[in-house]
Structure 1
């Protein structure tokens, strides 16, 4: 483009002048006083001065007046996301109930991404466009990865972010944070991931470190974990007798982070036995995973089996509040380990979670040291995992946002009110838990009578 001729005061001329292009504006006939056939040159410096001094800007998230620097940062984020989304040719493996939200994350306004069911459909669309497949990391259609590799079609793996929502994904609460990983996936230490690459190579400048420090402090102060700001009450007490207190967070037994990142340990009971073996004199607290206690996922353990290794089973209340009352967290790959690091708690890992291997944890499991080993400060881990790696979406405006916008939205319960579908799922989960408990109690009584 050599020069721009514009009728009236339009945005195209303004943007072109900022790029240093010659711009000529023709007055509209109804404006009067000027011959609309004689153009007026538009000076870029004059336009820039007007943008800085004369214009008023409103933040799209809080509707308050703001400055142009904040608006430029917001627009830069939106532009970056839209440019990335242009490389996605099809989405596959997305549950039907979350497709609307995934479309918000992956849209190229005014269009939405194509959702398909089969590997063949996804590969055909991406082959035609020379694009990538966006695939939910734990719902891989048979043959997709092998066929995509043969055809040199990139796969982007999609998963929930580490600060996700108020409510469980297994309870059908849509995510307000996701990750798109072009190298692998963060919970599989067998191969590289974008998060691992960020943590191993990124330059964490002072501004980013300060932002990460403030974000981490806010999460701790507000008691925010992956599933939002939980109730701080309801933690049952215990008497440790002055012993060192260890929290062992349970995980979903068939979760990919356990299957791929657990190494030699394959379940909660096996983890508890390992923790007890290494810490014979400690007071061990076991905390079942909320997906399991809600009846949505597998991995429930009988309290009697748990108490053969642990001293106390913790139900109810916020795990964030529970963390404040323990000395250490021993975990396989649970995100609770990362959340414990935010709180300055000693964390011991028995698998290969994304936060292991950076000098912040005591690592007992199989960590890919050849790709890790860089010593990080907790602020740098937070910057990589919560700022640089995920995408966030404001649940109010449904616009891309930064992490700070989302965590502030946790203060508004109206944004996270359960839908009728979520209420049905909750009722189903409670019924399932009750039935399983009765079956378990009946089996235990039968064994006792037989003895």
Structure 2
């Protein structure tokens, strides 16, 4: 039997197998790494090893592995349709189910009652981790210790590498990468088609939505809905780019929608500037910026156990983020503004007026002017700095306020100070639903929230809007970070095009990686400058 490495990489599209490889044959004389009980427990917890990216068929009671013959009398009392045969398996009962060779063995084995397989077969090794009985070619029960020792041998038989750097790593580091890949692939399962994806994002979206077997095609909303009905799958949509009645049509057709949006560590460059995203979120029950109904992120924050290993990882990630100055919109290059002494200082963060997060998470606040008026009412004696949104400032989106209007409510306008330095210098940061509030929380700053963004209502912010009862749980900052930055989004490494964890994305951005500017990006920047020039000219002409 030819044995592949037990811990190995999925066949990611558009990525060479050698570049994606997480494991390689050992060179002569290399020292073996012993797989401890902790390693085996981590593998079982992450459900990685074997072709974990494969299809997940309906459960069966008995699985028969390749090359194994099981007599009919061993299968009495079991419905033939509940007997699954892997390619090459032998059984003299008719009506049994023939399974594909590209099946996720964890999904198959963990839901069955017993496995008949060679003790070296990955099905048997995984069954040993799942405490499922394994019967060998002779029909005898295989001792669990034998299966675990066999797995240890397989794990020690290869060298592990960080596919993002090419450097050798230990098996536990390789496990972290594989676990991220498992989460990435699992959240894509069952998506039949994608609609509403901007043409300049589609290549990245295809890579983001790959489910271990294929990427869903990008179709019109009507075509996507028909395909989802036919395949009994979900339709992935970009919420702001679909017809208003599509959710109602999907509900009538019993097609679930998976809403796709930019993640919280995005890329270098603005989305409105046509820079492809470095991370996205895929939400099956809502979307994170809609405070009026549940979302996958809200449910995760309300119910997840957050083990210590995860919150430790979140703390390290948060420390790295703050140390590097990485934010959703990149580092600012301007100079810090002077702040008055002996007076309370407030940063009021503007947004895009027609942004979905304002419409659905604004808790009744109607745009930047209304928001700024509320900030002044809440802080009548404070020195207020108004910071317009960068997409608005660049001329791409709605929400511009004339300087004269702003200065009737705020004391100054800032457009160029390093945002995170400014956030940490003021006494309080006021936001409607801006991600700046989350970034301020990560830096230990006081945050007052006028809307209901995903990070409000967990005991970490001063909330001026009513908090939904769904958010009654009190979280630590690192639990919030773990949910929002590790568990909820998907990330794509801009160098290798491999799914990655948030730590690598932060490192890439901190190291100054910048994808080449396309002619489309340059044209978009020029368009924004022209629009902003026309807006300011109109202000000047009208006084």
Asked if 1:388 is matched to 2:490, the reply is no
Deviation string, structure 1 residues 73-93 (Cα, Å, up to 9, x no partner): 333432443344230011011
Q: 2:427 aligns with which of 302, 324, 327?
A: 327
Runs of 5+ unmatched residues, structure 1: 25-42, 445-451
Tell me, yes or no, if the aligned pair for 2:427 and 2:446 is still in contact at 8 Å: yes
Q: Secondary structure at the match of 1:324?
A: helix
Residue 238 of structure 1 pairs with residue 338 of structure 2: yes
Cα contact 1:351–1:367 (8 A) shared by 2: no
**Gap change, CA 1:2 and 1:352, over 3 Å in 2:** closer
Deviations along 1:165-199, one digit per CA (max 9) or x if unpaired, are 11100001111111111111111111111111111
Q: CA RMSD in A?
A: 2.2
| CA shift for structure 1 position 427 | 1.4
Which residue in 1 is equivalent to 2:521?
422
- Determine if contact 2:429/2:446 at 8 Å carries over to the other structure: yes
Partner residue in 1 for 2:173: 70
Say which of 341, 355, 375 aligns to 2:474: 375
Q: Please, which of 205, 214, 223 is the counterpart of residue 325 of structure 2?
A: 223
User: Is contact 1:342-1:378 (8 Å) kept?
Assistant: yes
**Could you tell me how far apart the structure 2 residues matched to 1:102 and 1:427 are?**
26
The one of 60, 67, 74 equivalent to 2:163 is 60
CA distance in 1, matches of 2:458, 2:202: 35
Q: Give the Cα–Cα distance (whole angstroms) in 1 for the partners of residues 388 and 343 of structure 2.
A: 22
Cα distance change, pair 341–80 in 1 and its aligned pair in 2 (3 A): closer
- What's the CA shift for 1:116? 0.9
Q: Is the 8 A contact 1:330 1:347 kept in 2?
A: yes
Instruction: Report the alpha carbon displacement of residue 316 of structure 1 after superposing the two structures with TM.
Output: 1.4
In 1: Cα distance, 2:355 partner to 2:500 partner: 29
Contact 1:164 1:175 in 2 (8 A): yes
Distance 1:293 1:237, change over 3 A: same
Is the counterpart of residue 50 in structure 1 residue 162 in structure 2?
no
* Distance of 2:169 and 2:135 partners within structure 1: 28
Question: Once the two structures are superposed, what CA deviation does each residue of 1:232-288 show, in whole Å capped at 9, x if it has no partner?
Answer: x42342342421110001100000111111123211111111111121110100001
Distance 1:130 1:287 in 2: 46
Question: Which residues of 2 match residues 392-407 of structure 1 at below 5 A?
Answer: 392-407=491-506
Deviation at 1:72, TM superposition (A): 3.3
Aligned residue in 1 for 2:258: 156
After TM superposition, the score normalised by the length of structure 1 is: 0.87
Match of 1:262 in 2: 362
State the number of aligned residues. 418
Change (3 A) 1:71 1:382: same
Normalising by the residue count of structure 2, what TM-score does the alignment of the two structures yield? 0.73
SS of the aligned residue for 2:235 comes to: strand
Paired with 1:427 and 1:261, the residues of 2 have a C-alpha distance of: 31
Q: 1:56 to 1:127 in 2, by over 3 A?
A: same
C-alpha displacement of 1:51: 3.1
